[in-house]
Amino acid sequence: MNSAQIEIQLIASLVAIACAIPGTFLVLRKMAMISDAISHSILPGIVIGFFITHDLNSPLLILLAALTGIITVVLVEYIQKTGLVKEDTAIGLVFPALFSIGVILIAKNANDVHLDVDAVLLGELAFAPFDRLLISGVDVGPKSLWIIGSILIITIILLIAFFKELKVSTFDKGLAASLGFSPAIMHYGLMSVSSVTTVGAFDAVGAILVVALMIAPAATAYLLTTNLKKMLSLAIIFGVFSAISGYWFAHWLDASIAGSITTMLGLLFLVVYLFAPKKGIIAVLYREKQQRTEVSLLTFLLHLKNHNEEEERHVNHLNEHINWQKVRSKTVLELATKNNMISIENNIVSLTEKGNDFTSQAIDYIITNEDAQIEHMKDDFFLFRG
């Protein structure tokens, strides 16, 4: 590993951390698509900033572009407030228009601008170490490392300083407002941090892939935990892991680093999406299947309680009476026997005492709709648990 490789991985990891922090809050606040909108609509800001400064790494350009990001948010909110279209339509209208303006600005001034739409959108991490920051002639490291480093430090300071406020306003806007934290300030603060991070990172990973680094680690972490601090740290870990493994994947494949970081993020999400212990697809499908069986069991017990006639309770007739397939009836019968709810004599099913109690409680449970009244029963009913 030479020094350029280390620097690239360092930059990628810092970008991943800087994105994961605001990304977590965006995902929790259901504003993930705003980050997509910002990442597109900063283009005109970058172009205009570039006309003025002629330097893609100048702080003025970053500020101008971040300002465009905030303008996007304000525009979206304004359009939404008029009530003419829904929020998602407002987002979908604003950013392509701003992006188009950016593309046209670049195209019209192609001769005097060394700026390429591809470069803005996709970035090229491999070149980042070659753009050095010189302070009085001394090489102190790549420019983008400094930029993203300072953005990250500011983000972390803000996060620590306003963690409590952010947490409250994310989960309970009303409570936050009544406690005296202005939700608007929190909102625009978060939007500004997201914009600045997007601009700072576009140079390294490209504007669109910033979105991946913001949303994917946070979404993956959200499938694993419901604790904000754990979610933040998991998102950061996932981000850094994908950044470093993505770099080596790209190295091996000789392809775009940003693309392969995203691919790693995607694979990570896919694995968690499938196998997360509680919220993964497999767990959810298994739970749904179990719940279906449990509901069937309840229906079956209710049926037994309602009918004293022997022919209604004959094992062979169950299929017709409750309209079940053979396999399903068998599962339910077995489950009921295992729980000592029924006894079978001469192929006639009858409720045991335990089964009878359970069924009467179940009827109570079903007909009482108020949560408070059935609270003490909840523990008995495995099917309604989680």
User: What are the angstrom distances between the C-alpha of 151 and each of 14, 55, 85, 182?
Assistant: 9, 18, 35, 24
Task: Out of 63, 117, 158, 335, point to the residue binding another protein (CB under 8 A).
Answer: 117
Binding segment for another protein (CB under 8 A), chosen from 6-14, 26-34, 297-305, 360-368, is: 26-34
- By CB atoms closer than 10 A (0-12, 13-18, 19+), residue 84 is exposed
Binding segment for another protein (CB under 8 A), chosen from 23-31, 173-181, 330-338, 349-357, is: 23-31
Residue type, 331: T
8 A C-beta contact, residue 327 and residue 358: no
Least distance to another protein, CB of residue 253, Å: 6
Q: How far apart are CA 66 and CA 191, in angstroms?
A: 9
Task: Out of 63, 113, 154, 208, point to the residue binding another protein (CB under 8 A).
Answer: 208
Q: How far apart are CA 170 and CA 160, in angstroms?
A: 15
| Residue 19 binds another protein (CB under 8 A) | no
Tokens of residue 175, six digits: 């409570």
Residues 162-201 that bind another protein (CB under 8 A): none
**Cβ proximity to another protein, 4 vs 33, nearer residue:** 33
Least distance to another protein, CB of residue 129, Å: 19
Least distance to another protein, CB of residue 316, Å: 33
Site size toward another protein (CB under 8 A) is: 63
Tokens of residue 77, six digits: 């909110």
Q: How far apart are CA 302 and CA 286, in angstroms?
A: 25
| Residue 59 binds another protein (CB under 8 A) | no
Least distance to another protein, CB of residue 154, Å: 24
Greatest alpha-carbon span in the chain: 98
**Cβ proximity to another protein, 126 vs 315, nearer residue:** 126
Least distance to another protein, CB of residue 321, Å: 25
Which residue bears the tokens 């009918």?
Answer: 307
Nearest to 218 by CA among 9, 8, 16, 15: 16
Determine if residue 35 is left, alpha or beta; phi over 0 gives left, psi from -120 to 50 gives alpha, anything else beta.
alpha
Torsion of CA 113, 55, 152, 26, to 10 degrees: -30
Q: How far apart are CA 104 and CA 148, in angstroms?
A: 28
| Residue 349 binds another protein (CB under 8 A) | no
Least distance to another protein, CB of residue 118, Å: 7
**Cβ proximity to another protein, 208 vs 383, nearer residue:** 208
**Cβ proximity to another protein, 102 vs 142, nearer residue:** 102
Annotate 155-186 with b (16+ C-beta within 10 A) or e (fewer).
Answer: beebbeebeebbebbbeeeeebeeeebebeeb
Residues 276-305 that bind another protein (CB under 8 A): 279-281, 284-285
Task: Out of 38, 46, 261, 318, point to the residue binding another protein (CB under 8 A).
Answer: 261
| Residue 273 binds another protein (CB under 8 A) | yes
User: Which H or E run contains 17?
Assistant: helix 3-28
Task: Out of 35, 68, 144, 155, point to the residue binding another protein (CB under 8 A).
Answer: 35
**Cβ proximity to another protein, 105 vs 304, nearer residue:** 105
Q: Pattern of binders to another protein over 76-95, x per CB under 8 A?
A: ---x--x-xxx-xx-xxx--
Task: Out of 108, 230, 307, 330, point to the residue binding another protein (CB under 8 A).
Answer: 108
Tokens of residue 50, six digits: 């570039």
Least distance to another protein, CB of residue 288, Å: 9
Q: How far apart are CA 356 and CA 21, in angstroms?
A: 54
For 72, residues 6+ apart whose C-beta sits below 8 A from its C-beta are 37, 38, 41, 42, 94, 95, 98
Least distance to another protein, CB of residue 108, Å: 6
Residues that bind another protein (CB under 8 A): 27, 30-33, 35-36, 40, 79, 82, 84-86, 88-89, 91-93, 96-97, 99-101, 103-104, 107-108, 110, 117-118, 121-122, 208-209, 211-212, 214-216, 218-219, 222-223, 250, 253-256, 258-263, 265-266, 269, 273, 279-281, 284-285
